[in-house]
Amino acid sequence: MSEGKIRRPKAETPKGFRDYFGTEVTERKAMLDAIGAVYHRYGFEALETSGVETVEALGKFLPDVDRPNEGVFAWKDEDDSWMALRYDLTAPLARVAAQYRNDLPSPYRRYAMGPVWRNEKPGPGRFRQFYQCDADTVGSGSVAADAEICAMLSDALETVGIPRGDYVVKVNNRKVLNGVMEVAGVLDPKDPAKFEAERGIVLRAIDKIDRLGDGGVRALLGEGRKDESGDFTKGAGLNAEQAEVVMGFVSAKRDTGAETVARLRELVGTSAIGEEGVSELEQIASLLEAQGYGPDRIVIDPGVVRGLGYYTGPVYEAELTFEILDEKGRKRQFGSVAGGGRYDDLVKRFTGQAVPATGVSIGVDRLLAALRAKGRAAAEAAGPVVVTVMDRDRMADYMAMVGELRQAGIRAEVYLGNPKNFGNQLKYADKRASPVAVIQGSDEAARGVVVLKDLVLGAKIAQSATLEEWKDRPAQLEVARADLVAAVQKMLAQ
C-alpha cells in the first residue's frame, strides 16, 4: 500500500466520553480526599472493586431500558458468560458483601470512589463515563443508619465548600410512596409483581417533577407524554382519580417536618406499608434533630423518589439551592448533586437471605461543577518552576538545581525540549503556568550566580505598566547560586 493510502486512526474522543487534564484531575482528587476524610471520620472503610462485573451480578436496575443491554456496556467472554462495565458502585458492593460475608464485620461500612459507565444517549453535560463517590452501611436495618448517612452527606458538602444555606438534604421513604400507590390501586401487597411496569413509570414520572412540572407528570401518570422533539413516552395508564392520589403525595410537603408527616399519614390511609414508612420518617427526623441537624440542612420532602428500582425504604437527595446562569443566560438552581437510599433486597439476590443496606452516591463531576460555579474549587495550581537550559553541555548543573528545588518541596523541572531557541523555553514556561524561570548561562556560571525571572509579575506588568503595587518588585533578579532555593521560595511566597 502506498504512503498516500495508509488509513490512519482518527484522533478523537469516543462519543459520550471526555478527557480530563491537569487542574481538572487535581481538583477532583482534592475534593475526593476531603470527602473521603469525612467518611473515614464516621468509621467507614475504603473499598476498591473491579470496573468489570458479570452481567448476572450487576442485575438489571437501570431505568433506561431502551438501550442495548438495558443501559450497560456488555460483551460475551470466551466461556460464553456475559461481562459488563459497572454502571454504579452499589451493585458491586452487594456482590462483595455476599462473597465475603463470612470475613467482613457486620454491619459492614464502606466508601468507594471511581468511574462508572452507562450506555445511555449522551447529551450536553451527560457523559457515558463519570465518577461516583459512595458510602454504604450493609447489615443494619436500623433507620439510625439512614439518619447517619444524611448527616454525613451534610458534613461532606460543607467540608468541600458548600456552606449551610446553599444546599438541602431531602429525605423521603419509598414505603410511603408504596402506601400511596396501594391507595391509588397500582400496588397489590398480596401480589407485588402485579402493576410492576406501571409503578416503574410512576416512579420515574415523579422523579422528573422539577423538570416536567405538574402537567408533564400528570401526562406520564395517564396515557403518556410527547416531548418537544416529538418523541412519545408511554404513560402508566392511571385514571384521573388514581393520578390525583399520586399528585397529592408529590405536593404533600408542608412548612414543618411534623406537618408534612401528618399529611403523609392522611394520604397512606390504612396501608400498613405506608404507615411503616411514615413512622420511619418520624424516627429519622428525631435522630437528626438530636445531633443538631435541623431543617436548615435536612428536610422531609415527598418529592424525592429516586429513579432506580432497587430502593426499598428511606431515600435521600442533596440539592444545591444557589442560582447559576444556564447556557442561555437564564437563572436557575443548580439542582441535585447526590442521592441514595435503603436497598434491603440487593444482597438477597446472591444469598437468598435478606440483608439490610443503605447508602449514598455523590455525583463527582456535578459537585465539582458546582464548586467552580461558586468559585470554591481548589485554586488553579501554579505550574512548576522551570530551569532553562542555556548551555546543553552543562545539563548536569541544571539537573542539580532542579534536584535542590524538589528536595525543598518546590515543584520544578528542567526544560527538556530543544534549547536552541531561548524564546521557546519561555513560551513553554508560560504554557505550563510556571511562576518562575531559572536562568544560568556561562557568564552567570563563572560568577557563581543565577537569574530568577518572575513570570507572574512579568505577566501583570505586561497587562498594565502602571501597577503601583508591583513597581518596587523587580521582574528579574540575580542571586548567588548558593541562595537559589531560598530566593525561589521568597519569590513564590510573594
Look up the CATH number of the domain holding residue 472: 3.40.50.800
Mean pLDDT across 22-26: 87
Residue 137 pLDDT more than 70? yes
What is the per-residue pLDDT across 111-135, written as a single tens digit (0 to 9) for each? 999 999 998 888 777 789 999 999 9
Regarding whether 303 and 198 lie in a shared domain, the answer is: yes
Regarding whether 290 and 146 lie in a shared domain, the answer is: yes
10 found inside a domain = no
DSSP assignment of 111-149, as one string?
EEEEEEE-----BTTB-SEEEEEEEEEES---HHHHHHH
Regarding whether 444 and 350 lie in a shared domain, the answer is: no
6 found inside a domain = no
pLDDT confidence tier of residue 466, bands split at 50, 70 and 90: low
196 found inside a domain = yes
Percentage of residues of the chain with pLDDT beyond 90: 51
Taking CA atoms, 17 is separated from 61, 83, 130, 317, 469, in Å, by 22, 20, 9, 26, 45
1 found inside a domain = no
Q: What is the largest CA-CA distance in the chain?
A: 94
- The total number of structural domains in the chain stands at 2
The CB-based long-range contact list for 250-258 (8 Å cut-off, 24+ gap) reads 250/206, 250/209, 250/214, 250/217, 250/302, 250/303, 251/302, 252/302, 253/300, 253/301, 253/302, 253/303, 256/295, 257/285, 257/295, 257/299, 257/300
pLDDT, residue 62, reads 58
Regarding whether 300 and 261 lie in a shared domain, the answer is: yes
Residues whose CB falls within 8 Å of the CB of residue 356, separated by 6 or more in sequence, listed in order: 138, 139, 140, 141, 145, 342, 344
* Cβ neighbour number for residue 150 with a 10 Å cutoff: 25
Comparing CA positions, the residue from 152, 167, 164 lying closest to residue 360 is 152
225 found inside a domain = yes
Regarding whether 396 and 368 lie in a shared domain, the answer is: no
378 found inside a domain = no
Range with lowest mean pLDDT among 19-28, 172-181, 201-210, 477-486: 201-210
Regarding whether 424 and 309 lie in a shared domain, the answer is: no
Regarding whether 43 and 83 lie in a shared domain, the answer is: yes
What is the per-residue pLDDT across 331-340, written as a single tens digit (0 to 9) for each? 777 788 999 9
* Last residue within a domain, chosen from 332, 352, 373: 373
Regarding whether 87 and 118 lie in a shared domain, the answer is: yes
Domain that holds residue 426: 385-493
What is the per-residue pLDDT across 261-300, written as a single tens digit (0 to 9) for each? 889 998 898 899 999 999 999 999 999 999 999 899 999 9
Regarding whether 451 and 357 lie in a shared domain, the answer is: no
Regarding whether 309 and 192 lie in a shared domain, the answer is: yes
210 found inside a domain = yes
* Last residue within a domain, chosen from 330, 346, 373: 373
* Last residue within a domain, chosen from 328, 348, 373: 373
Regarding whether 263 and 187 lie in a shared domain, the answer is: yes
Q: Strand 45-46: give its sheet, edge to edge.
A: 45-46, 108-117, 129-138, 357-363, 331-342, 314-325, 167-173, 298-300
110 found inside a domain = yes
Regarding whether 465 and 345 lie in a shared domain, the answer is: no
Q: Please name the residue that has the C-alpha cell 459497572.
A: 86
DSSP assignment of 411-427, as one string?
-EEE--S-TT-HHHHHH
CA 62 to chain centre: 18
What is the per-residue pLDDT across 75-86, written as a single tens digit (0 to 9) for each? 888 888 889 999
Average pLDDT of every residue of the chain? 87
Q: Is the pTM of this model over 0.85?
A: no
Strand extents, DSSP E, 3-118 = 45-46, 52-54, 74-76, 82-85, 108-117
CATH number at residue 355: 3.30.930.10
